[in-house]
Amino acid sequence: MNKPVLLTVPRSMMAKVQAHAKRSAFKPEDYQAFHEREAQADYQRQQAQIAAERHQRDVKKLLDRSGVQDIYLSATLESYQIYRPEQQAAITSCRKFLQGFGQHGAVKNMIFCGSTGTGKNHMASAICNALNASGKSAVVATAFEIQMKARAGRRHDNPFTEEKVIASFSGVDLLVLDEIELGSTQDHDGKIVNAIIDQRVTAGKSTILLTNMSFEEAAGFLGERIADRLVGNFYLVECFWPSYRTNKPVVA
């Protein structure tokens, strides 16, 4: 009967192999520790997913809708109609943002500036739809909506307190903040949106801003501190082409 292979290997050679091996085989106690670490990592991933879904549900309850407008529920980057080079550049930025979402070193934020009817909501909603389909939590809300929800949360009979409103919008994976210039400018209300953006930036969360203002006007509206933190890691998409609704391209 043939001897086991290991018995035929000279001890000197085995010593060399063991000396150059990156790691030895698992011992029973090592395997148990490894198994426990993997189980703990799985548990933490599950808890993170549960927390993300809870945030998504909370925001849906706050908005009484998913956030994405009905006309954009099926929007994709592929369905966006391109008829100008600037639009192609905008879609390219959106794809880069989406492809790198959640990855270390990727661009965190986007700011869409420009005229009405240029597709800002379509592009931002398409990003939200893609992320929600992948299990992430992404919502669209106007600055005024958030402020009104926070104001309502100050009533004693409202289950969503102001702190809960801020925490819910701060916790989603992606917040698309629309019409930032139309929010209330009252002192306390005006600070709500800035507080949410500030918490998101601090936590490394991604934020997309939509505005009809120019970038310079938007930065001035947000204030130097918040604007500086957002633009430290962002894509700027300037949409100043004619409105699609009133200037549809003629197809021959």
What's the N-to-C CA distance of the chain in angstroms? Answer: 84
pLDDT in tens, 207-252: 999 999 999 888 888 888 888 888 878 999 999 898 876 665 544 4
Task: Give me the chain's average pLDDT, please.
Answer: 80
Question: Considering Cα of 238, then 215, then 201, then 221, what sign does the dihedral take?
Answer: negative
Can you tell me the distance from the alpha carbon of 9 to that of 21, in angstroms, rounded to the nearest whole number?
16
pLDDT in tens, 59-104: 666 555 556 777 888 899 999 999 899 999 999 999 999 999 989 8
Q: Which residues pair with 178 in a beta bridge?
A: 142, 210
* Per-residue model confidence (pLDDT) at position 66: 53
Q: What type of residue sits at position 60?
A: K
Q: Mean per-residue pLDDT for 121-150?
A: 90
For residue 22, is it within any domain? no
For residue 31, is it within any domain? no
For residue 199, is it within any domain? yes
Number of domains in the chain: 1
Strands of 109-114's sheet in order across = 138-142, 174-178, 206-211, 109-114, 234-239
**Contact status, residue 123 vs residue 94, Cβ threshold 8 Å:** yes
Q: Mean per-residue pLDDT for 13-33?
A: 64
What's the CATH code of the domain at 233?
Answer: 3.40.50.300
Residue 165 has a CB neighbour count (10 Å cut-off) of: 25
For residue 162, is it within any domain? yes
**Contact status, residue 176 vs residue 210, Cβ threshold 8 Å:** yes
Can you tell me the distance from the alpha carbon of 245 to that of 117, in angstroms, rounded to the nearest whole number?
6
For residue 21, is it within any domain? no
Q: Mean per-residue pLDDT for 137-162?
A: 82
Q: What is the pTM of this model?
A: 0.72
Phi then psi dihedrals of residue 112, to 5 deg: -100, 115
Which range marks the domain in which residue 192 is found?
A: 46-239
At residue 7, does pLDDT exceed 60?
Answer: no
Token look-up 């018995």 returns 7
Q: Mean per-residue pLDDT for 8-24?
A: 63
Least confidently predicted of 19-28, 115-124, 212-221, 223-232: 19-28
Residue 88 has a CB neighbour count (10 Å cut-off) of: 12
Can you tell me the distance from the alpha carbon of 68 to that of 106, in angstroms, rounded to the nearest whole number?
24
For β-strands 206-211 and 174-178, DSSP reports them as: parallel
Q: pLDDT confidence of 41, banded at 50, 70, 90?
A: confident
**Contact status, residue 218 vs residue 182, Cβ threshold 8 Å:** no
At residue 110, does pLDDT exceed 90?
Answer: yes
Residue 183 has a CB neighbour count (10 Å cut-off) of: 21
Tokens of 9: 């290997």
Instruction: Give how far the C-alpha of residue 128 lies from the chain's centroid of Cα atoms, to the nearest Å.
Output: 8
For residue 16, is it within any domain? no
Q: What type of residue sits at position 188?
A: H
Can you tell me the distance from the alpha carbon of 196 to that of 173, in angstroms, rounded to the nearest whole number?
13
For residue 205, is it within any domain? yes
For residue 76, is it within any domain? yes
